[in-house]
Chain A
């Protein structure tokens, strides 16, 4: 099972739970496609590493990062960003909580805006500003597969 499958199973349940109907994309798979865009919003992924960044629901964004230390040992960290009306709460493994502030907050906001705009355009094919569809009814497949 791949990294992404592990995270997604942890957060959204197993593929069997969610089901897959006749080859159609499940919500879980759509999130995975969105993350193909999200993972590059923070720049290139270091060699040997892995990254996922996606919107889980309207109140939660997830960032997963995997990297190797100097001895070659694989390390990973999952960070959850919880959306509250008074700020963005960053929750890390091991129960570390803190509100985003300053540059980190601004960068998170920028990443969300870029994610929203690119995902709306390239996955769902809607104009993020007007909400108008960018595709004809017949060509409904997402651009990113």
Chain B
């Protein structure tokens, strides 16, 4: 859990990059997650407007399993980060859209009647 006084020493992006650079495991990792990437694309193509949490979770699990089976010694956080980033951005887009809808709806509620009176 993200804690209040989180002092966990997670590696920096530089550390993460150097861990994977020039390692054959990275290639195996990328190959093993190709199927999962395609599945994730299919999820978004099939559901352009809303996020299907079950399908996304399934894509995450597939990606994790595929990577672990092919290269169990490689940490799978990069793939998880990709999936979580996509979900998080998508969630943000949908939330923004609904904020906009809500504000527009209210404007219509308040301004609409005034327009009719005038």
Residues of A participating in the B interface, judged by any CB pair closer than 8 Å: 21-27, 30-31, 34, 42-43, 46, 49, 51, 55, 57-61, 63, 65, 67, 81, 83-89, 97-102, 104-109, 111-113, 115-117, 119-120, 124, 126, 128-131, 140, 142
Contacts and interface: CB of A to CB of B under 8 A. Distances in A.
Interface string B37-79: 0000000000001111110000000000000000000010110
A61 B88 contact: yes
Interface residues of B, number: 49
B51 A116 contact: yes
Tell me the interface secondary structure of chain B in the complex: helix
B24 interface: no
A117 B12 CA distance: 30
Nearest to B10: A101
A100 to B, nearest CB: 7
B35 interface: no
Contacts of B102: 25, 30, 124, 142
A87 B107 CA distance: 37
Contact of B91 (A22, A65, A107, A116): A116
Contacts of A130: 50
A84 B11 CA distance: 17
Given A57-B92, A58-B93, A128 B53 contact: yes
Contact of A124 (B75, B93, B98): B98
B10 A128 contact: no
A12 B85 CA distance: 23
Contact of A25 (B3, B51, B91, B106): B106
Interface of B: 1-6, 8, 10-13, 16, 49-54, 75, 77-78, 80-89, 91-96, 98-103, 105-107, 109-111
Nearest to A46: B4
Nearest to A89: B13
A100 B81 contact: yes
Contact of A129 (B10, B53, B88): B53
A30 B106 CA distance: 12
A65 B1 CA distance: 14
A97 B14 CA distance: 11
B104 to A, nearest CB: 10
